[in-house]
Amino acid sequence: MKPLGSAIPVVVDLDLTLILTNSLHEMAAAAIFRKPAALLRSLIKLPSGRHHVKAALASEIAAEGLVFPYREDLLDWLREKAAEGHAIHLCSAAHQSIADEVARRLGIFASAVGSDIVNLKGAEKSAYLQRKFPDGFIYVGDSSSDIHVWEKSSGIVLAGAPGSVASKARRLGKPVLKEFKNTRLDLGTFVKALRVHHWSKNLLIFVPLVLSHQWATPGLIGTFLLAFLCLVGVTSGTYLLNDMADLSADRQHWSKKNRALASGRLQIGVGLALACVLLLASMVGALMLDYAFALALAAYLAITGAYSGGLKRVPLLDLLIIGVLFTVRIVMGTVLVEESHPVWLLVFSVFFFFSLAVAKRHTEIVRAAKAGANSLKARGYMVEDAPLTLALGTASAVVSLVVMLLFIIENMASGSLYTRPELLSGIPLVLSVWIGRIWLLAHRGVMADDPVTFALRDKTSLGLGVAIAALFAVAL
């Protein structure tokens, strides 16, 4: 074999090595949300071998449409080796179309070979590389199946290898030239993936309880708390599914690329299993709690599924659905309070949250325009749509305030539930200040989060929220 100091070729694996995810899982996830029938047709091929499944999926899901998270430190090392005169080769069990596409994008490989006739993994890969590089090669891998390859290699590079695999590789007696480790998967990663910081949005389920003035009923409070837990489980599960549906788009987004699934820190298989457990447990709990509530929760899940399945890419309809999803949270609380069904609240909610959803999209359009982009490709919007989103969003905000004023005027006339209903008139005034500020920041393109999340971190928003709560409390 050639000494390692010479220009010996470097061969790198793809799945969980060069990229931080599994390309087969990526294609399967894309099929689930784009072509579910294609996934079923591909799984039928499983008895014939994994490479037949990969080929079937590759015929349905174009490699050009997939975006992968790369192990950037490994990429830098490979480029250094290329500059030193080493030929860099890609050899993977992934389908040939995936290997070709990755090679085309990176432009550093002298050759790219993937699975086609056989599943190029373990002993099959080892035999292939020995035939192609009889004078020796350095191999970059991560899994136990790569032990077969390292046994015949001239040098070992570990990239994301578990501790047990790394130990076996070192015991082979070959030089370990470099080791690249994964970012540790900690509790914080799961917390962010579940969008715990968005759980505050689910507090809307308590709004009908507060407006019906039944917060002193212990049994009802317990029911609402259990319903809240069910809602939290469903929303977190759907957030995971939504992230899986939007992987390629998120990886091209300035901030969403850092999400757990998009970055590759949380694997697709783990995310899918966690989502299924959350959704199943929540729906069973809802059925045990109240059938009407379970129906509303199922409607929320169905709407979210339709949104993730493609409606999110229909301009304006995507924003209306977001407003409806917020409103469904209130509907869940309404069905639990049988004596109170405030229609005005639902109308207000749809217009109000539609306005906030438009504000978030308007921010993205403004930011895209400042960055010189022509469109938000994943969402179907153009930068020229900014005047339209500005007009629609602010108009919807005004409509929601008018609806609230009509409710207050009705209560001022009847005085049924409030001792000083005239104080309620201050609430839409304070709310108009807050939503005006939201739209000012959105139009400037400085709204980093969605408006609800922003409000929970913004001192001015919190102060205005306290003022609204105080007006409501004094009016009782």
pLDDT digit string, tens, across residues 414-440: 656 778 888 888 999 999 999 999 999
Give the chain's length: 476
Note whether 29 and 268 are within 8 A (CB).
yes
User: Is the pLDDT score of 7 beyond 90?
Assistant: no
117 pLDDT band, cuts 50/70/90, is confident
Note whether 25 and 237 are within 8 A (CB).
no
187-475, CATH topology level: Farnesyl Diphosphate Synthase (1.10.600)
What is the crossing angle of helices 343-370 and 426-444, to 10°? Answer: 20
For 247-282, the pLDDT digits (tens) are 998 998 878 899 999 999 999 999 999 999 999 999
Do 10-180 and 187-475 have matching folds?
no
Euclidean distance between CA atoms 377 and 352, whole angstroms: 26
Residue 408 CA, chain-centre distance (Å), reads 39
Look at residue 1 in the predicted model and tell me its pLDDT.
42
Residue 292 CA, chain-centre distance (Å), reads 29
Q: Averaged over 93-116, what is the pLDDT?
A: 95
Quick one: DSSP state of residue 70? B
Look at residue 379 in the predicted model and tell me its pLDDT.
74
List the beta bridge partners of residue 178: 157
E strand or H helix at 247: helix 247-250
5 pLDDT band, cuts 50/70/90, is low
What residue ranges do the domains of the chain occupy? Answer: 10-180, 187-475
Least confident of 3-7, 306-310, 407-411: 3-7
2 pLDDT band, cuts 50/70/90, is very low
Structure tokens at 398: 């005004």
Q: What is the mean pLDDT of the chain?
A: 91
Q: Averaged over 65-83, what is the pLDDT?
A: 96
Helix, strand and coil percent figures for the chain, each rounded to 5: 70, 10, 25
Location of structure tokens 């820190």: 265
What three-state secondary structure class fits 183? coil
Q: Averaged over 120-132, what is the pLDDT?
A: 95
Within 112-213, where are the H helices? 123-132, 147-152, 163-170, 187-193, 207-211
User: Which of 288, 322, 290 is CA-nearest to residue 452?
Assistant: 322
Quick one: DSSP state of residue 55? H
Least confident of 94-98, 145-149, 405-409, 445-449: 445-449
**More confident position, 5 or 183:** 183
* Percent of the chain scoring above 90 in pLDDT: 68
Euclidean distance between CA atoms 26 and 65, whole angstroms: 11
Give every CB contact of residue 258 below 8 A, 6+ residues apart in sequence. Answer: none
Note whether 24 and 100 are within 8 A (CB).
no
Q: Do the strands 176-180 and 111-115 form a parallel or antiparallel pair, or are they unpaired?
A: unpaired
Note whether 148 and 126 are within 8 A (CB).
yes
Look at residue 254 in the predicted model and tell me its pLDDT.
77
Q: Averaged over 84-99, what is the pLDDT?
A: 95
Residue 448 CB coordination number (10 Å): 12
User: Which of 249, 213, 235, 263 is CA-nearest to residue 329?
Assistant: 235
Q: Which CATH number fits domain 10-180: 3.40.50.720, 3.40.50.1000, 3.30.1360.120, 3.30.70.360?
A: 3.40.50.1000
Note whether 299 and 321 are within 8 A (CB).
no
User: What is the secondary structure of 250-274 as a DSSP string?
Assistant: HTTSTTGGGSHHHHTSS-HHHHHHH
For 338-358, the pLDDT digits (tens) are 766 678 899 999 999 999 999
User: Which of 154, 144, 126 is CA-nearest to residue 6?
Assistant: 154
Euclidean distance between CA atoms 298 and 428, whole angstroms: 32
Euclidean distance between CA atoms 276 and 271, whole angstroms: 9
pTM of this structure:
0.84
